[in-house]
Amino acid sequence: TLFHDGTKGNCNDCHDEGGTGNPSLGSTNLAEPRLYLYGSDRAAVLESIVRGRRGTMPAFDGQLKPEEIKAVSIYVFSRAAKAS
């Protein structure tokens, strides 16, 4: 739900509905873990969500509750795991 929530998570704004990414924005295709710039393991996914990445991926620490960050990271990690 948070991935698709346009007011809170906003993930789908850059990664699109299916998590396939948007090449014109330079956002990662979450279904292709080999394309993850900072790694597709659980720790790297969680860090990307919490701290953001180089001003392109926004940080969600303080914007989302800890349980919401966990839920989004599990969703993203599951997308990477399905493709492996």
Q: Which residues contact 58 (CB under 8 A, 6 or more apart)?
A: 10, 52
The percentage of residues in the chain with a pLDDT greater than 90, rounded to a whole number, is 25
pLDDT at 82 over 70: no
Over residues 64-77, mean pLDDT: 90
Contact assessment for residue 50 and residue 59, using Cβ atoms and an 8 Å cutoff: yes
What single letter denotes the amino acid at residue 47? E
SS3 17: coil
Condensed to tens digits (0 to 9), the pLDDT of residues 22-32 reads: 888 888 898 88
pLDDT at 80 over 80: no
Query: Tokens standing for 8?
Result: 């809170």
pLDDT given for residue 84 in this prediction: 56
| CA proximity to 51, closest of 37, 39, 63 | 63
